[in-house]
Structure 1
Amino acid sequence: MKSFSVIVAIYNAQKYLPETLLSVQRQTYSNFEVVMVDDGSTDDSAVLAQQFCISDPRFRLLSTPHRGISPARNLAVEHAVGDWIAVCDADDTWHPRKLEIQARFIGAWDEEKHGPLAALGTAGYIINRFGQVRRVEDLGIHTLAEYQHWRDEIGQLVMINSSVVFRKHLFEELGGYRADYTPAEDTDLWTRLARRGVVLNLPDRLTFYRMHGENISERRYIRMMLNAERIRVNARRHRAGQPELTYEEFYEHLGENPAQRAALMRQLRHAMHYYIARNRWNNGHRLGGLSSFLRATLIDPRRSLQHLQESYRYHVGRKPTP
């Protein structure tokens, strides 16, 4: 039996937190604890979390002044007792059999044949603020060959954050989450874990990732994408035995080719507006969605049309055959 410590970093999450914690509490696999960290919330998040502690001894709550997502998660892991850490953001939810299916996969893993398993995620669904499914999210990396390709050729590992379980001792050896990479601190962690063992995603859709329009990934989209590129650059530098670049050094490095940096920033601004447009539209904010789509189209009409066509084909493809 594998023991899990579920970590939940909480900051002003009262709107979705009860649903999140109920989805954890109702797991069919019961060998887990829940370590919650209230990161200085100013709403009733701590009160709601404490109610679960009162009714279920597996739940514990720590409280700190507001310091950010990475310190909050690191604190939760520090107080965790499980061999494996399971991440669940305070606005996401799980399928009832999520931990059961991951525990079974971990138990059947042949470490002598494949090496240690460092982290295991799943596929899932993107849901809106109402809990409605908007699309399937499957990031691949289902096989050892895909893991090796992403690790060695692409230079980063991508996973749905709330789907992942990882080995606690490897996390501690690597120094945990690094706040300097926020809001791509999770991708940075998976990429570093991949140097210590295999990182995979199950194709099972077991995680519901909520895009409600207030996510940090939307508010800091360009920083997130620049950090994603920095992760790839630093992965190459690591293999070459070179020191990693800080965010400031990386941005300065981009400036060595002004035309290339300008093109990249234009591409990221377009992607940001399209990302916001899709989230607003999916959450019922039609005018806001159209406004952001127009901003994206003014930057790159061809790419906007391409994204629109891909979205149309995806939604048509999901419709049942008459």
Structure 2
Amino acid sequence: MSTFSIVIPCLNAIATLGETLDSLLTQTDRDWEALVVDDGSTDGSWALAATYAAQDPRIRPMRNPGRGPSAARNLVIAEGRGDIIAFCDADDLWAPEKLTRMRRAFADTRADAVFARIAFFDGRGTRTVSTVPGGDLTVPMLMGENPVCTMSNLAIRREVFVASGGLDTTMVHNEDLEYLIRLAATGYRIRGLDETLVYYRTSPTGLSSNLDAMRRGRSAALATAARHGFAPDARAEAIHLRYLARRALRTDAPAHEALRLAFGGAMTSPSGFFSDLKRGGLTLACAAAAPLMPRRLRRALFSH
């Protein structure tokens, strides 16, 4: 039995999967297994995972075609052997000390789940990292901006993941937010480490085509919060709109989309939108300038 079960959902990730698996092989804590769960790839991802598995038996390719990333992650309940579950997407990277730091964090028995800072990178470099709030995550905090940012940044005790029922497999967007709200609302303690351990690969595409799906996912997450007695306020909504505006600025979304989101957030709750004065001010200023910027320049400024 390993200490860590790492789950990697995979769908046509041939361009990045090798780098992701290499980042696992450089971990300073070597007591892990990795479940590479293929969702029906047609690009050679399965063959690549099998090649890595032939070289290192800790890597276990599995097929789960057409069921989506949440079902892939939930497969660890039946197939995982580790006491701690850590998630990693097939295009993200981990710092070599990631699992060593997780082991140390879980030595505190009061921690049910742990995350850290992430660095945004485009495959070449990074300039921006996320922030980690002090104290345990709360539902009101999560309804504003999710500091975990990505499932690649979450590790959780196996018994907690099993008891909580895993991820909602009917959701495509914001399923991680819904799950974190469910954890926090039912009393589990989610703690942050103020160090950068995950590198999140940004993409210049996606927001314009999935914005409606993201909204539906957020609505489902907020419905979960409501069932536990939590309702979002104007401040939380403004912070969320600020997050979406920043994401719009670093993708191929129409330039007016970022302005609409930023202006909406500032009007919804000025105190929420400018709760981080630098972030709020820069977002609003750049959203206003975005229609005048060439798309390449806009992406260069916000893709990290």
Give the TM bin, normalised by the shorter chain: 0.7 to 0.9
Measured in 1, the distance between the counterparts of 2:208 and 2:183 equals 26
CA offset at residue 2 of structure 1? Answer: 7.8
CA offset at residue 295 of structure 1? Answer: 4.7
Query: Aligned AA for 2:173?
Result: P
CA offset at residue 89 of structure 1? Answer: 0.3
Measured in 1, the distance between the counterparts of 2:72 and 2:225 equals 25
Match of 1:231 in 2: 221
Specify the SS of the correspondent of 2:75.
Answer: helix
Runs of 4 or more, structure 1, over 6 Å off, are 298-305
Residues 271 and 296, structure 1, Cα contact 8 Å, conserved in 2: no
Measured in 2, the distance between the counterparts of 1:154 and 1:99 equals 24
Residues 158 and 190, structure 1, Cα contact 8 Å, conserved in 2: no
Measured in 2, the distance between the counterparts of 1:71 and 1:37 equals 9
- The structure whose residues are more often helix, as a share, is 1
CA offset at residue 213 of structure 1? Answer: 3.1
Match of 1:132 in 2: 125
1:275 counterpart = 2:265? no
Match of 2:47 in 1: 47
Specify the SS of the correspondent of 2:195.
Answer: strand
CA offset at residue 39 of structure 1? Answer: 0.6
Specify the SS of the correspondent of 2:124.
Answer: coil
CA RMSD, 1 decimal: 3.4
* Unaligned residue ranges in structure 1 (runs of 5+): 241-259, 281-288, 317-322
Query: Aligned AA for 2:126?
Result: V
CA offset at residue 235 of structure 1? Answer: 1.6
Specify the SS of the correspondent of 1:179.
Answer: coil
Residues 10 and 39, structure 2, Cα contact 8 Å, conserved in 1: yes
CA offset at residue 196 of structure 1? Answer: 4.1
Out of 98, 112, 134, the residue aligned to residue 142 of structure 1 is: 134
Out of 180, 194, 200, the residue aligned to residue 209 of structure 1 is: 200
Match of 2:105 in 1: 105
Match of 2:8 in 1: 8
Residues 284-313 of structure 1: CA distance to partner in whole angstroms, max 9, x if unpaired?
xxxxx7xx224544787686985153799x
Measured in 2, the distance between the counterparts of 1:191 and 1:298 equals 27
How many residues are paired up?
Answer: 266
CA offset at residue 4 of structure 1? Answer: 0.6
Out of 97, 111, 116, the residue aligned to residue 122 of structure 1 is: 116
Specify the SS of the correspondent of 2:112.
Answer: strand
Larger Rg: 1
CA offset at residue 31 of structure 1? Answer: 0.9
Q: 1:158 to 1:271 in 2, by over 3 A?
A: closer
CA offset at residue 230 of structure 1? Answer: 3.6
CA offset at residue 126 of structure 1? Answer: 0.6
Residues 159-180 of structure 1: CA distance to partner in whole angstroms, max 9, x if unpaired?
1321110011221222211023
Q: 1:214 to 1:51 in 2, by over 3 A?
A: farther
Residues 122 and 205, structure 1, Cα contact 8 Å, conserved in 2: yes
Measured in 1, the distance between the counterparts of 2:100 and 2:262 equals 45
Residues 248 and 258, structure 2, Cα contact 8 Å, conserved in 1: no
Residues 5 and 81, structure 1, Cα contact 8 Å, conserved in 2: yes
Match of 1:25 in 2: 25
Measured in 1, the distance between the counterparts of 2:204 and 2:75 equals 27
Specify the SS of the correspondent of 2:251.
Answer: helix
1:170 counterpart = 2:142? no
Report the TM-score, using the length of structure 1 for normalisation. 0.72
* Unaligned residue ranges in structure 2 (runs of 5+): 267-279, 290-299
Residues 274 and 293, structure 1, Cα contact 8 Å, conserved in 2: no
Specify the SS of the correspondent of 2:180.
Answer: helix
Q: 1:131 to 1:221 in 2, by over 3 A?
A: farther
Measured in 2, the distance between the counterparts of 1:119 and 1:278 equals 30
Residues 273 and 293, structure 1, Cα contact 8 Å, conserved in 2: no
Identity percentage over the alignment? 28
Specify the SS of the correspondent of 1:206.
Answer: strand
Q: 1:225 to 1:134 in 2, by over 3 A?
A: farther
- Which has the larger displacement, 71-80 or 150-159? 150-159
